[in-house]
Amino acid sequence: MESKKSKFKTLNLVYIALFSVLITICSWIYVPTVVPFTLQTFAIFCALCLLGGKLGTCSIIVYILLGVVGIPVFAGFNGGVGALLGATGGYIIGFIFMGLIYWLITGIFGNKTYISFIAMILGLAVCYAIGTAWFMFVYIQKSGSISLLSVLGLCVFPFIIPDMIKMILAVFLAKKLACCVKV
Coil, helix or strand at residue 31: strand
Cβ burial of 180 (10 Å; 0-12, 13-18, 19+) is exposed
Among residues 103, 125, 128, which one has the least CA distance to residue 116? 103
- Greatest extent of the chain over all pairs of C-alpha atoms, in Å: 62
Coil, helix or strand at residue 35: coil
> Quick one: pLDDT at residue 175?
87
Q: What is the pTM of this model?
A: 0.91
pLDDT in tens, the chain (183 residues): 456 666 668 899 999 999 999 999 999 998 888 778 899 999 999 999 999 999 999 999 999 999 999 999 999 899 999 999 999 999 999 999 999 999 999 999 998 999 999 999 999 999 999 999 999 999 999 999 999 999 999 999 999 999 999 999 999 999 888 777 766
53, HSE (Cβ side, Cα atoms, 13 Å):
21
> Quick one: pLDDT at residue 7?
62
> Quick one: pLDDT at residue 30?
83
